[in-house]
Amino acid sequence: MTLSGFPEPLFDGSLSFLRRWRSTRIERLIQQDLAQTENIKNLPLVEHLASLLPERVASSLSINALRQDLEVHFETVKHWLNLLERVYYGFFIRPYSTKLPRGIKKKPKFYLWDWTEVEDPGQRFENLVAMHLYKWVNFANELGLDDLSLHYVRDKEDHEVDFLICRKRKPWIAVECKAHASSNPASVYYFSEKLNLTKSFVLSREPVSLDIRNNGERQVLRMSAADFLARLV
């Protein structure tokens, strides 16, 4: 949570080193990697875009709001976001709506490879979980072990679950992030019913014992994020 999953700052163990390393990494991603692959006339604006993204983690991303902040065209911001994804600054998680007639369909979320850029503890925790799920889904797909996709799910009545893993394009597992194990995961139960999920997870940022709750054929498991993520790969 504090030093990221990148080896240099993690093994150094120093926040001052992390800050220096982060600044150098972002500069290299944009001024070197991005500049070598794309002919972008205004790299400082792309860097400014990157600086706006950490506070928007865990929320539906409004490209129109970013366009207004940067005073550029909508398609330009969209293109720059795709470039930032390409150079591994961040990645999109798109909404699932196939079986939800009132589901949110358009706005994706954008998470960072370096979750320590996110100041808010709850958003940082969600970003950390997103990163691990994203890597696990890609790992399973690239090795031919499974056919998975990662989404979030929200409807127009504001029921939302942080992550939904689909298997062969069908809803399979829901994952919700909570700071405390006692938090009420009402949306998890709601979407378990709506999407016919047999298993869902509520991940606590704090250490907790496994708690399994059954609702008919459906199962909701409350557990610490550390225990859950350690089992992925």
**DSSP helix/strand/coil, 52:** helix
- Give the pLDDT confidence of 180-221 residue by residue, as tens digits: 766 678 899 999 999 999 899 999 999 999 999 887 788 999
- Give the pLDDT confidence of 110-147 residue by residue, as tens digits: 999 999 999 999 999 999 999 999 999 999 999 999 99
**DSSP helix/strand/coil, 97:** coil
Q: Which of 57, 50, 125 is nearest to 85 (CA)?
A: 50
- Give the pLDDT confidence of 17-50 residue by residue, as tens digits: 999 999 999 999 999 998 887 778 888 999 999 9
pLDDT (0 to 100) of residue 105:
66
pLDDT at 84 exceeding the cut of 90: yes
pLDDT (0 to 100) of residue 182:
67
**Domains, the chain, ranges and CATH?**
123-230 (3.40.1350)
Sequence-distant (6+) residues with CB within 8 A of 233 are: 135, 136, 139
pLDDT (0 to 100) of residue 185:
83
